Amino acid sequence: MQRTDDGQKIRLSDYRPPAFLVRHVEMRIALHDGHAAVETTIHARRAEGADPAEPLVLDGDHLSLVALALDGTAIDPRRFDAAPDRLTIRDLPGSDAFALRIETRLEPETNTELMGLYRSNGIWCTQCEAEGFRRITYFPDRPDVLATYRVRLEADHEAAPVLLSNGNPSESGDLDGGRHFAVWDDPHPKPSYLFALVAGRLDVLRDGFRTASGRAVDLAVYTEPGLADRATYAMDALKRSMAWDERRFGREYDLDVFNVVAISDFNMGAMENKGLNVFNHKYVLLAPDTATDADYAGVETVIAHEYFHNWTGNRITCRDWFQLCLKEGLTVYRDQEFSADERARTVKRIASVHGLKAQQFPEDQGPLQHPVRPTQYREINNFYTATVYEKGAELVRMLATILGEAGFRAGMDLYFARHDGDAATIEDFLRCFADATGADLAQFALWYDQAGTPELEVQESFGDGRLTVSLRQSLAKGAAGTGTEPMHIPVRFGLVGADGADIAAEPVAGAAEIEGDVIHLVTAEAEVVFDGLAERPRLSMLRDFSAPVTLRHEQSREDKLALARLDPNGFGRWRALSDLLGEALRAAAVAADEAPLDPRLVEALVECAAEERLEPALRAQMIAIPGESEIARLVGANVDPEAVHRAREAAIRSVARAGAERFRAVRDGLSRSGEPFSPDASSAGRRALGNALLMFLSAAAAEPAEAFAAFRDADNMTDRMAAATILAHRFPGSSEAEEALDRFHDAFEADPLVLDKWFTLRATVPDPATLDVVRELSRHPKFTLANPNRARALIGGFATGNQRVFHRADGEGYRWTADRLGELDRLNPQTAARLATAFRSWRSYEAGRREQARAALSTLAARPDLSRDLRDILDRTLS
């Protein structure tokens, strides 16, 4: 049963400290087939200064109360009201501590929302962030109420030999009737959203880690039976994460055990519950034959992310959910830095920026816009967004750029020292950096409150050895309606000489402050002048994407082409190429022509592909042709997805034809046949380049033979998937494509994570007939809306990965998607709401499609029984 919407908004300005504090929580949870009995004892007292007459109000969500006792005696029914969503108790002692014992009874088997206690393939597990604990027991379910926990789990020994909760294991033993129990103690005070339990028949991979100060930690990764051998890479990533956090941030682990559990049915990627991280199995299970290099990188990132939360999230948590970016933005920054250190920094940075532009920019520029720290919400689940996570990480990165490495580290050290054990705010966080460095961060703080992507306009002029650079920032008011004040934008730059080296030029004192290679733009407009230049340099702006802005640099195509070849900053080369490509594709899509690309740009791309001294992963990124949704974003208004598709295809053909010969040679040179598969970054980079080239070669040949051979001979999932995608997407309906899809299906039908790939592969074929295919796939015996990964594979694959067919002119793509969302909403509102964001850019399409999308969304919104989650997204999307 889902919650329907009451339309109410929660506001940051209404924040009040809790009236009651909980010191300690004891739980006894007895798991049975069909139900769970939960006894919770809350050791609490009224907060100092709180009104002694105020009743105790505990949160609930579809709960039914079995029994209630205060300090060992049943409470007079006239003293409390127990509603499904709230338990109110009056006349509690003024300031004495009390123990409140609450009994509830749950049905994990019927929990399809996957929040609170549920069963996934028979395994009992929980998900409590953000407000799931209130589906287990009545509790002050807010992140600023922190308590220690002692949890006793009981279950049938057969059904659940493994019993896990947060903290350290304490007692365990047998009970009558084939049952057993285990007690877990978590000595670190935590908010209820970090509570977790897992119980079931699980396999385990064990290892250990010794912290810098000598604590021995038992590590375990639990999987469904028979899959523990697929957890070795996750375990390795975990140990590397633990060592990295010690090295880079001086943070050690703080319990005797660290457990990770891989679960099939999970709404998100993973969850950082204290000492017991629960993962979507997609981010744990890997094997060369079933997982791509992207999957390996994803596992490494998510394992690191959840582990890093132990300090940024758990030891220091958020005061309220408006502060979500305090833990998420910071932790994404930390996982990005980890990947950059473990893999290749420039490649990682390009991937992050690419992701930011693909996910966060459209969010920030459309109806779902919100500041990194929102000030109001109807449903907090809808704020686990690219803006909170990825833009939140960019803000931390800017802080590091502005303060420098040492200043940033000093601020972080102070944050850990000052706020350990606290539920903190963004103000607390920023104050640490200000106090540690003396910097004034008042203007910087605007980044957290002002939504939207600022534009940074740059103009340059040169004469008499002088380069004058004018900068101008502006921020348009968007859907969030927040402020538009000038912000502190750190602009990393370089002046590139004709020989491809950076020119060290002294800036002439001007309006903007320059520190090393960073211009600090703090006003709406500023000018910087460099003098004494022997030649006109090429200006490489916003290196490493030093701020999340849209750069409008009036720069000649010649300069951009030169930077694409010469910029000593790898990111700068990538950006020059992606700007040139983006501009060419935008223009072609607007004009609805299929003009070939500028031959000089084509030549630059081909040269890059063949440039031996560049690592292959970087070359693969440089020659990537922007995707259709990216081109649509650049077009911005009245988008015709057919024109976008044709423009992109024409660009691919130009590059493919001009480059075929060189591409062939490069691809042949990359092959290392006979070598065993290794998922390391440089092997993955070679595969990425080889497969990018295979796509161009197949496009040049206009026939599927080579891709089919690659599919047939592939000895790993990366190459198999790449070849299958080329076949299915570029040669739909060919016998080769059909055969590859069938073989793929038959070989991996029993492997849910690979079958998800097959669903997505088919749903993303850019051919009008795909609509019939997705209709048919939704009746496939292995399709189910109950499993979020499967629902995302088909519905999400189609709606976000198939621009041409989702945006069909007749509106059928919109209607099919909206109908599925309506069905999904009855089972799993969170996942339905998340998938509904596929509609967020509907207003930027041409009038006919706009009308079709509006109609499909309005029909869905007219359903009377929508969840609060989906209703909130639809209302904002349509407003």
Residue 333 interacting entry, from ligand PHE, Zn ion, none, C-beta within 5 to 8 Å by type: none
Short-list 457, 478, 472, CA closest to 366: 478
Strand partners, 45: 21
How would you write 109-163 as a 3-class SS string? HHCCCCCEEEEECCEEEEECCCCCHHHCCCECCCCCCCEEEEEEEEEECCCCCEE
Residues in region 609-638 near Zn ion by CB under 5 A: none
Contact present, 269 and 228 (Cβ < 8 Å): no
Q: How far is the CB of 790 from Zn ion (least distance, A)?
A: 23
Closest CB to ligand PHE among 249 and 677?
A: 249
Closest CB to Zn ion among 315 and 790?
A: 315
Residue 384 interacting entry, from Zn ion, ligand PHE, none, C-beta within 5 to 8 Å by type: ligand PHE
The CA-to-CA distance between both ends of the chain, in Å, stands at 27
Closest CB to Zn ion among 259 and 331?
A: 331
Q: Which stretch binds ligand PHE (CB under 6 A): 125-133, 183-191, 407-415, 783-791?
A: 125-133
Q: Which stretch binds ligand PHE (CB under 6 A): 265-273, 445-453, 530-538, 565-573?
A: 265-273
Q: How far is the CB of 317 from Zn ion (least distance, A)?
A: 12
Cα atoms in the Cβ-side hemisphere of radius 13 Å centred on 769 = 6
Please give the backbone phi and psi of residue 390, each rounded to the nearest 5 degrees, phi first: -80, -45
Residue 127 interacting entry, from ligand PHE, Zn ion, none, C-beta within 5 to 8 Å by type: ligand PHE
Residues in the interface with ligand PHE (CB under 6 A) total 12
Q: How far is the CB of 272 from ligand PHE (least distance, A)?
A: 5
Q: How far is the CB of 18 from ligand PHE (least distance, A)?
A: 21
The token duo for 88 is 């109110």
Task: Give the ranges where 275-391 is alpha helix by DSSP (H).
Answer: 293-308, 324-342, 345-355, 361-364, 386
Q: How far is the CB of 831 from ligand PHE (least distance, A)?
A: 11
d(CA 102, CA 74): 10
d(CA 20, CA 59): 13
User: Is there binding between residue 386 and ligand PHE (CB under 6 A)?
Assistant: no
Residue 268 interacting entry, from Zn ion, ligand PHE, none, C-beta within 5 to 8 Å by type: ligand PHE
Q: Which stretch binds ligand PHE (CB under 6 A): 157-165, 263-271, 685-693, 738-746?
A: 263-271
Residue 517 interacting entry, from ligand PHE, Zn ion, none, C-beta within 5 to 8 Å by type: none
Q: How far is the CB of 844 from ligand PHE (least distance, A)?
A: 29
Closest CB to Zn ion among 331 and 346?
A: 331
Is-catalytic flag, 306? Answer: yes
Q: Indicate the SS3 state at residue 215.
A: coil
Please give the backbone phi and psi of residue 50, each rounded to the nearest 5 degrees, phi first: -75, 150
User: Is there binding between residue 70 and ligand PHE (CB under 6 A)?
Assistant: no
Q: How far is the CB of 268 from ligand PHE (least distance, A)?
A: 4
User: Is there binding between residue 272 and ligand PHE (CB under 6 A)?
Assistant: yes
d(CA 550, CA 455): 5
Residue nearest to ligand PHE (CB): 268
**426 residue type, one letter:** I
Q: How far is the CB of 270 from Zn ion (least distance, A)?
A: 8
Closest CB to Zn ion among 328 and 379?
A: 328
**837 residue type, one letter:** T
Interacting residue with ligand PHE among 139, 233, 384, 530 (CB under 6 A): 384
Closest CB to Zn ion among 304 and 761?
A: 304
Interacting residue with ligand PHE among 129, 224, 335, 342 (CB under 6 A): 129
- What single string gives the DSSP state of each residue in 423-449? EE-HHHHHHHHHHHH----TTTTHHHH
d(CA 448, CA 444): 8
Residue 437 interacting entry, from Zn ion, ligand PHE, none, C-beta within 5 to 8 Å by type: none
d(CA 387, CA 745): 36
C-beta neighbour count of 110 within 10 angstroms: 12
Closest CB to ligand PHE among 253 and 321?
A: 321
Closest CB to Zn ion among 337 and 640?
A: 337
Residues in region 556-575 near Zn ion by CB under 5 A: none
Short-list 656, 649, 648, CA closest to 630: 648
Short-list 117, 121, 120, CA closest to 106: 117
Short-list 280, 217, 283, CA closest to 246: 217
Task: Give the ranges where 520-569 is alpha helix by DSSP (H).
Answer: 557-566
Short-list 251, 166, 167, 190, CA closest to 423: 190
Short-list 194, 151, 142, 170, CA closest to 26: 151
Closest CB to ligand PHE among 302 and 526?
A: 302
User: Is there binding between residue 268 and ligand PHE (CB under 6 A)?
Assistant: yes
Short-list 207, 160, 198, 203, CA closest to 179: 160
Q: Which stretch binds ligand PHE (CB under 6 A): 39-47, 123-131, 431-439, 854-862?
A: 123-131
Short-list 415, 439, 238, CA closest to 326: 415
Residue 166 interacting entry, from Zn ion, ligand PHE, none, C-beta within 5 to 8 Å by type: none
Q: How far is the CB of 339 from Zn ion (least distance, A)?
A: 15
Closest CB to ligand PHE among 271 and 656?
A: 271
Closest CB to ligand PHE among 303 and 471?
A: 303
Residue with tokens 């338990």: 87
Residue 364 interacting entry, from ligand PHE, Zn ion, none, C-beta within 5 to 8 Å by type: none
Contact present, 531 and 506 (Cβ < 8 Å): yes
Contact present, 700 and 657 (Cβ < 8 Å): yes
User: Is there binding between residue 492 and ligand PHE (CB under 6 A)?
Assistant: no
Q: Which stretch binds Zn ion (CB under 5 A): 331-339, 400-408, 470-478, 702-710?
A: 331-339
Q: How far is the CB of 239 from Zn ion (least distance, A)?
A: 20
Residue with tokens 């939704």: 778
User: Is there binding between residue 391 and ligand PHE (CB under 6 A)?
Assistant: no
H helix count then E strand count, the chain: 28, 33
Contact present, 221 and 204 (Cβ < 8 Å): yes
Residue 271 interacting entry, from ligand PHE, Zn ion, none, C-beta within 5 to 8 Å by type: ligand PHE
Q: Which stretch binds Zn ion (CB under 5 A): 165-173, 323-331, 508-516, 623-631?
A: 323-331
**398 residue type, one letter:** M
Peptide bond into 358 cis (omega under 30): no
551 by Cβ neighbours in 10 Å (0-12 / 13-18 / 19+) ranks as middle
**Residue 439 vs residues 96, 407, 417, 661: alpha-carbon distances, Å:** 44, 9, 19, 55
User: Is there binding between residue 271 and ligand PHE (CB under 6 A)?
Assistant: yes
User: Is there binding between residue 350 and ligand PHE (CB under 6 A)?
Assistant: no
Q: How far is the CB of 277 from ligand PHE (least distance, A)?
A: 9
Q: How far is the CB of 227 from ligand PHE (least distance, A)?
A: 21
User: Is there binding between residue 127 and ligand PHE (CB under 6 A)?
Assistant: yes
Closest CB to ligand PHE among 306 and 615?
A: 306
Q: How far is the CB of 328 from Zn ion (least distance, A)?
A: 5
Catalytic residue, candidates 129, 131, 272, 306:
306
d(CA 763, CA 774): 6
C-beta neighbour count of 773 within 10 angstroms: 16
Interacting residue with ligand PHE among 251, 274, 305, 419 (CB under 6 A): 305
Q: Which stretch binds Zn ion (CB under 5 A): 249-257, 325-333, 409-417, 869-877?
A: 325-333
Contact present, 207 and 219 (Cβ < 8 Å): yes
Q: Where do contacts with ligand PHE occur on this chain (CB under 6 A)? A: 127, 129-130, 267-268, 270-272, 305-306, 328, 384
Catalytic residue positions, numbered: 306
Q: Where do contacts with Zn ion occur on this chain (CB under 5 A)? A: 328, 331
